[in-house]
Structure 1
Amino acid sequence: MTRGLVCFDVDGTLVPGTSSCAWVAAALGHEAELVAAEAAYGEGRLTNQEASIIDARGWAGHTEDEVLARLETLPLVAGIGETVAWCREHDLRPILTTLAWTPVGRLLARRFGFAAYCGPVPEAGGGRYTGEVAEHLDEYGKRDFALAQGFAPERCAAVGDSRSDLPLFAAVGMSIGFNAAPDARAVATHLVDGDDLRAVLPLLERQFNSV
């Protein structure tokens, strides 16, 4: 029987020092526009829907294979596979709760064994991206996706770093700000800084041994 749920953010949490969107945008040629849009979202001047529309335009005409090849080189923190394996060994369901595009979640789920993922969906046809957004997702969608997994909030933990994690942090029994920005640090129940995701495991073990 699965004892609980552990939610992991992607950009800024599993992906250090950049975002998956910026990493792809650097290869596709619209990095400056994307970085500005992400900064505006972080400051509350753009919604994630508005930022996604700007980013999606930069994908127009590029192939799914081209984007996937770039994502294969995405920089990641150490210890992801071991952390996911630990969750499964301890009867916890590890999922990705992220505003990264769904190709990112799909890649990471296949590589490391996350049980599920969410994210906005870029529109594609005939193997190429159209430059439109097929499905939007925002920070409240992240929270709702996690809660829809069927676990009581006190049996849910979230690991994240930024504004997009705040609604989820407020809804779960334990929130871990991992290399977190000030807004997430201010509300997380625990803080961890480092370059290896396994640093969160003692907190998860303590939390789920107590519920």
Structure 2
Amino acid sequence: MFSSDHVGAVFFDVDGTLVPGTSSSVFLAGFLGHRDELARAEDAYAAGTVGNRQVSELDAAGWAGVREERVSGWLDGLPLVSGIAETVAWCRRNGLVPVLATLAWSPVGSYLSARFGFHAFSGPRLETADGHFTGRVARHFDEYDKRDFALATARELGLAPRSCAAVGDSRSDLPLFAAVGWSVAFNASAGAREVATVAVDDDDLRGVLPVLRRLVAPTR
């Protein structure tokens, strides 16, 4: 629960940002047997040659028959950038609401929110039946849905977009970068760097804190 004295929100991407050098989907595909195929598809998405829907449907097919309960155990081994817990705690202390704005599957957002204390998360959803994944997508979610989720969350918190920041690394962050007051390209692609307010390269998420302080400074 956040009190009315919050001054802004920070929307953090997951894949390539909190999960460095890969994506949560590719990591999980290693358990499902289609890692290489998905990695090629994600590279094609990053290059702009395929859409998010195609990648999601390809990935979802590999989940068919898997029990829902297995995923959290796999996610315990997800490679993560250092400093997530400390960055979330800093945001909370300084009146910034930390939110996951991501295209990662909803079990990933749910896991990371519970582990680190993010306020909310976005993402596509896999279809399930009788405790198993069916291999189909229940809800598609692309980079524009990501932007719209962030803006809707800001409205719910009573915040203007200019009072918000986004931290991301790639194509899926570009619409959101254009919609908020501050955008941080964190260990990012050339395309993300070109449109971001500032670029930060660091092996610890706390490297973005000097930028986030600019959201807090006007009211402190």
TM-score strictly above 0.5: yes
**Corresponding residue number in structure 2 for 1:24:** 28
Aligned equivalents of 2:216, 2:150: Cα separation in 1: 17
Deviation digits for residues 19-71 of structure 1 (CA, Å, limit 9, x no counterpart): 00000001110112211110111111111111100000001111112222111
Aligned residue among 47, 51, 63 for 1:47: 51
Aligned equivalents of 2:169, 2:108: Cα separation in 1: 17
Aligned equivalents of 2:20, 2:97: Cα separation in 1: 23
**Corresponding residue number in structure 2 for 1:78:** 82
Aligned equivalents of 1:206, 1:155: Cα separation in 2: 10
Gaps in structure 1 of 5+ consecutive residues: none
Partner amino acid, structure 2, of 1:66: R
Note if contact 1:155-1:208 (Cα within 8 Å) is conserved in structure 2: no
Aligned equivalents of 1:201, 1:117: Cα separation in 2: 21
Partner amino acid, structure 2, of 1:174: W
Partner amino acid, structure 2, of 1:188: A
**Corresponding residue number in structure 2 for 1:136:** 140
Aligned residue among 186, 192, 200 for 1:178: 186
Note if contact 2:164-2:215 (Cα within 8 Å) is conserved in structure 1: no
The answer as to 2:70 corresponding to 1:62 is no
Structure 1 length as normaliser, TM-score?
A: 0.98
Structure 2 length as normaliser, TM-score?
A: 0.94
**Corresponding residue number in structure 2 for 1:36:** 40
Aligned equivalents of 2:118, 2:129: Cα separation in 1: 27
Gaps in structure 2 of 5+ consecutive residues: none
Partner amino acid, structure 2, of 1:155: S
Aligned equivalents of 2:215, 2:123: Cα separation in 1: 27
Q: CA deviation at 1:183?
A: 0.7
Moved runs in structure 1, 4+ residues, more than 6 A? none
Partner amino acid, structure 1, of 2:212: L
Note if contact 1:142-1:168 (Cα within 8 Å) is conserved in structure 2: yes
Partner amino acid, structure 2, of 1:209: A
Partner amino acid, structure 2, of 1:137: F
Q: CA deviation at 1:155?
A: 0.3
Aligned equivalents of 2:216, 2:188: Cα separation in 1: 22
**Corresponding residue number in structure 1 for 2:209:** 201
**Corresponding residue number in structure 1 for 2:218:** 210
Identity of aligned residues (%): 59
Q: CA deviation at 1:210?
A: 2.9
**Corresponding residue number in structure 1 for 2:19:** 15
Q: CA deviation at 1:194?
A: 1.0
Q: How many residue pairs end up in the alignment? A: 211
